[in-house]
Amino acid sequence: MANADTNPLEIAREALLRLATRRIPPTPANYRALYHEIAGTQDDGSDALPDAVLRSLVAALPRATPAQLRLARLLEDGVQKSGWNGLRDGLAQHARTLEDRAGWGNLISELLRLWELRQPGLTPARKREGLQRVLASQDDDTLYPRLQGLIKGWGDASAGLDSPDAMGDLAPANEAEAMPDAATTSRTGLTGSQFMGGFGSISQFFGGSAPDEDLEAFADLRELLATSLETALAPVVRDTAVAEQLDELAVAMRAAKSVKVLRTLTTKVKHLAFKMEILTGEQAEIRTELLRLFGLLVENVGELVLDDQWLHGQMEIVRDLVARPLDIRALEDAERRLKEVIFKQSQLKQSLQEAKEALKQMLAGFVDHLADFSESTSEYHDKLEAFAGKISSANSLAELGSVLDEVMRQTRVAQLNTQRTRDELHAARSRVEQAEAHIAQLQAELDRTSAMVRHDQLTGTLNRRGLDEALEKEMARSRRYRAPLCIGLLDVDNFKKLNDSLGHQAGDAALIHLTQVIRDGLRPQDSVARYGGEEFLLLLPNTTRHEAVQTVQRLQRELTRRFFLHNNQKLLITFSAGVTELNDRDNEETALARADAAMYEAKQTGKNRVIEG
Ligand SMILES: Nc1nc2c(ncn2[C@@H]2O[C@H](COP(=O)(O)OP(=O)(O)OP(=O)(O)O)[C@@H](O)[C@H]2O)c(=O)[nH]1
């Protein structure tokens, strides 16, 4: 049958037949020998492991990544040392690796699922640490199984088993080591296990879930509470004992190492809150009472200065201010105005005292001199009568001569007395004149100081001096609190015409009306200043440019509702305004210049409007 058949199928069938008929074990080698026998070919071993081909194949494999390198080495080893078996094992291991890779996706999604799952006893910090330990290992081949172990541990923990695997296979047995203070107490101030101790109550507090985020939120709240006690409440409590207790509580709260301690502190907070409620109530009563007293005082001062209209105007303003809801700026303003009233009153008292003194002296002097004069005059008259009697009864010239000498002497004395009285009356008059001059001088000084005080006497708004002070304060406040500050410069429209047609007094009344409307339309913290004759400046703290424009426009609308009444005639007063918001580089001049330019534009473009500068 040599070379009998060249059909490989037939040869194979015959080879199998011979294996069976000759009862030869069907090994590959026996099959190969029979095959060559039937085909009439030589078994030259060319179908053994194709070493050269495989080597060239392996040499061509990429080795860029550790995995590629590993595969290439595996195949090299298989080819060189272990033959088919080595190659088979290597390929099988590689196939497993590939299979593992296919499992990475699942593994990672499971990792993510468990990472986000809130698990009692397994804080994010703990999970993070376990994962870091697994990832820190340099051995790529063991990464997959180690990660699998870690995830399994997490899974078991969520199923209620407290698995040590939850920390990764390198997890320390000691939990304190696993959750060093630095990692878990930096924000919370408690170690993980301490937190776990109070976990139930905290999770209840947060609605039944048992989240670590809640623990962090709890720690944040604890810090917030401590800070509130220390920086927000303690400084405003007037009772020093309570303030000290608040400070102590804040310190204790931060140092608390367990939820149990915190709970005790919370009870103390409740007690203190109760005390403070009582204190606050008392303080509110005290404030109301003080305000009432202040009101009485203001009334009283008003009564004392009945004859000074200017002071009455000021007192009215102070009364208005305290009648509004209290606010720090309103109080500052009230204080300033009261100081002015007190100052002016003391000046008036002094000048009145001097005037009274001068008047008293003058009257006393007159009375004295008139008495002296009338006394000496009546004495002189009596003497003259006596001399007349002596003259009529005189019998000789010599006798007559001596009576005449006496008459002459008495007349000279009377003359001297009159002269002296006249001189003294002159002196008294000049003293009165001096006193009058002094009073006039005092009055002039008073007027000068009045001009120097911070409020405009006609309208009661701030004057330039008051404006400078207020603007400086508001600019500093705005920078300190990074709050917007706007100014608005207002100029009454066609005011000259009003003055010319109705008179200066009507003009004054119109200005008073205008400022009243403005003041009523602004917040207590806003200020109004008389910038010039019929120009006013508004200071609007905590106000953006947009809000400032709206505010000024609202004032314009209000003026169209509240007419100025002159002799029962309704007159519409309008103004043009420029509004600007102050920036960090502004000083008073630059800001005012912008507002002024904008106001000028408002005048130029039709009046009764607001322009932003
Ligand atoms: N009654 C009164 N008039 C004042 C006072 N201060 C300034 N004025 C007058 O206000 C007028 C301002 O006139 P102008 O500057 O021409 O301005 P205006 O007539 O309002 O014209 P526009 O500003 O262009 O609308 C002047 O007649 C001033 O005398 C004041 O305290 N009382």
> Considering the entire predicted model, what is its pTM?
0.41
Most ligand 1 atoms within 8 A of CB, residue of 534, 599, 604 to mutate: 534
Question: Best of 458, 493, 496, 573 to mutate for ligand 1, by most ligand atoms within 8 A of CB?
Answer: 496
Q: How far is the CA of 534 from the centre of ligand 1 (A)?
A: 6
Residue 478 has pLDDT above 90, yes or no: yes
Q: Which of 381-385, 485-489, 559-563 has the lowest mean pLDDT?
A: 381-385
Pairing mode, if any, of strands 610-612 and 485-492?
unpaired
Residue of the CA atom closest to atom 27 of ligand 1: 496
Q: CA–CA separation, 390 vs 407, rounded Å? A: 11
Report the range of poorest mean pLDDT among 22-26, 59-63, 223-227.
59-63
Other C-beta atoms lying within 10 Å of the C-beta of residue 555: 22
Tell me which H or E stretch contains 487. Answer: strand 485-492
**pLDDT band, residue 566 (cuts 50/70/90):** very high
Nearest CA-CA partner of 534 in 566, 585, 480, 494 = 494
582-602 per-position pLDDT tens digit: 999 999 999 999 999 999 999
More confident residue, 480 or 610: 610
Q: Which domains does the chain have, with CATH numbers?
A: 8-48 (no CATH), 49-116 (no CATH), 343-452 (1.10.287), 464-612 (3.30.70.270)
Is 534 among the catalytic positions?
A: yes
Please, are residues 460 and 317 in contact by the beta-carbon 8 Å criterion? Answer: yes
Tell me the three-class secondary structure of 335-354, residue by residue.
HHHHHHHHHHHHHHHHHHHH
pLDDT in tens, 482-541: 899 999 999 999 999 999 999 999 999 999 999 999 999 999 889 999 998 999 999 999
- According to the model, what pLDDT value does residue 317 have? 58
For residue 452, name the pLDDT band (cuts at 50, 70, 90).
low
Report the distance separating Cα 330 and Cα 325, nearest Å: 9
DSSP 233: I
Our CA dihedral for 465, 470, 472, 478, rounded to 10 degrees, sits at -170
- Give residue 376's pLDDT: 72
Q: What is the DSSP letter of 463?
A: -
Q: Ligand 1: which residue has its CA nearest to atom 5?
A: 533
Residue with CA at minimum distance from ligand 1 atom 12? 496
Mean local confidence (pLDDT), 451-470: 82
Catalytic residue among 340, 534, 581, 612: 534
> pLDDT: is 127 or 341 the higher one?
127
Compute φ and ψ for 567, nearest 5 degrees: 45, 50
Cβ pair 531, 489 in contact under 8 A: yes
Instruction: Single out the residue of 363, 555, 401, 582 nearest to residue 487, CA to CA.
Output: 582
**In the chain, what is the greatest distance between 2 CA atoms, to the nearest angstrom?**
224
Q: What are phi and psi of 255, to 5 degrees?
A: -85, -10
Selection from 72-81, 266-275, 427-436 with the highest mean pLDDT: 266-275
Does 175 score more than 50 pLDDT? no
Q: Which pair of structure tokens corresponds to residue 128? A: 């993070």
Please give the distance, rounded to the nearest whole angstrom, from the Cα atom of residue 489 to the centre of ligand 1: 15
pLDDT digits (tens, 9 = 90+) for 66-125: 667 777 777 777 766 656 666 677 677 666 666 556 577 777 878 888 877 777 667 777
Fill in the amino acid letter for 133. Answer: R
Tokens 């007192």 belong to 315
Percent of the chain with pLDDT over 70: 67
Looking at ligand 1, which residue's alpha carbon is closest to its atom 3? Answer: 507
Mean pLDDT rounded to a whole number for the chain: 76
**Ligand 1 atom with least separation from CA of 511:** 32
